[in-house]
Structure 1
């Protein structure tokens, strides 16, 4: 399959000339072309290009029927953890591994882990014209290529995973969450990266000395992970990075 065909299949873009233009501007790099497409196009609209447009009333009716299949018996306006697991299974999503589960929680305004409400479910899926499992799954898969959206999902994920009354994530919870959010990146790694060494060799191993991760450390990690390993040696000590990131650079280059 050509880069153009792959681009169109992943993004739902129906314009072959537009697809070729994004690939050409990205130097032939497919992942970069997809990322640029989502950063310049409306993600909801781009999803809709490959879906049949459905009248609002019909969409609401269909979405209520979908929700009914997974709703609690005691509270038909809420989907509990068992219903959510069944829902994700039907979407082909593993909530223990796939970032699409976190994107769904963000998109559908989940109030707590494993819980969805009828109003938010119907309202938000109707906005993007996704009324069945196939369209929902496609939307979530496409959304993870939108870097601006993923910045928001990343910030949401920290608060979503916090225990009630806590302000920091336990290290083991942060590591597990990072591994879900960056699951695709881990799968594509062919050599060590800033992200993989930071998460696996520094934090998860206990060498960071941290027992918990703050919101600032979490939010800054996304930008930090984008820095190529060779550039970390010259990272300015005057830059406003959390101490955890400075400690990682010292660890990496065995500085005293």
Structure 2
């Protein structure tokens, strides 16, 4: 088994625990958030095969987001990847998504 295959076998709850762990392991000492570069690399590692819009998401964040990625945003990206359809048809703009997610959806509709 490759590390990626192993991650795909984890059930949703255990994967959520792993995903939160990735955030904490990737933080630089004394920091509460991740740099964009580290977050994108970590998303690619953790969410490949689990988030159908991963490539578009990572490209958008790299090109349009200059601020650090907070723990809340990190967690919400996993939820977004789980519940929103690839065509974004069930995305609720009134939902409690981080601004970065709202901006991504707007970008995808352009």
Match of 1:248 in 2: 104
Matched, 1:196 2:55: yes
Corresponding residue number in structure 1 for 2:31 = 166
In structure 2, the partner of 1:223 is 79
Query: TM-score, with normalisation over the residues of structure 1?
Result: 0.38
TM-score, normalising length: structure 2: 0.82
Q: What is the CA–CA distance in structure 1 between the aligned matches of 2:90 and 2:9, rounded to whole Å? A: 31
Shift of 1:145: 2.9
Runs of 4+ in structure 1 deviating by more than 6 angstroms, as ranges, are: none
8 A contact 1:171–1:212 mirrored in 2: yes
The 8 Å contact of residues 7 and 15 in structure 2, kept in 1 or not, is answered as: no
Unpaired runs of 5+ residues, structure 2, are none
> Does 2:8 match 1:150?
no
Rate the CA distance shift 1:251–1:233 in 2: closer, same or farther, 3 A. Answer: farther
Contact map agreement 1:194 1:228 (CA 8 A) in 2? no
Structure-2 separation of matches of 1:178 and 1:229: 17
1:211–1:195 distance in 2 versus 1, CA, 3 Å = same
How many residue pairs match? The answer is 109
CA contact (8 A) 2:73 2:98 kept: yes
Q: 1:149 to 1:167 in 2, by over 3 A?
A: same
Following superposition, the deviation at residue 197 of structure 1 comes to 1.1
If asked which structure has higher relative contact order (CA below 8 Å, sep 6+), I would say 2
Contact 1:169 1:213 in 2 (8 A): yes
| 1:1-20 superposed matches below 5 A | none
Which structure would you say has the larger Rg?
1
Structure 1 equivalent of residue 68 of structure 2? 212
The root-mean-square deviation of aligned C-alpha atoms, in Å, is 2.5
Q: Distance in 1 between matches of 2:89 and 2:7?
A: 35
